[in-house]
Amino acid sequence: MKNYIEHNGQTIKTEIYYTKGGYNTKRGFYLSVQPIERSEHKTADGKAYVIESYKAFTGYYTLLYEATRKSAKLEKEAINKGLQLLPNILQNKFN
């Protein structure tokens, strides 16, 4: 689940996603919160597209649920937990 919100004059991209893990990450559902800049452009034939720009080391992510595999039930629980944590993260990390 990806969402864009405005907070203190910044565009914040929030995303809840599942990853299989890796060398330094556990398998499960994560919440990612990243300040970005979005700009809209058009191709030569008039098709619109959006570019997102990130600044290094400005984002935040946290493990919501450790899971051995992706399931719809755990995804819903992760979304609910992420929505509960988001106001606190925005207040403490992005002010």
Domain definitions of the chain by residue range: 2-93
Mean pLDDT of 73-86: 95
Average pLDDT of 14-37?
94
Q: Which residue has the tokens 């600044």?
A: 55
CA distance 40 to 93: 27
Q: What's the rounded Cα separation, in Å, for the pair 76 and 26?
A: 19
pLDDT of residue 43: 94
Please check the confidence at residue 66 and state whether its pLDDT lies above 90.
yes
Q: Of all helices (H) and strands (E), which one includes residue 92?
A: helix 72-93
* Average pLDDT, rounded, for the chain: 94
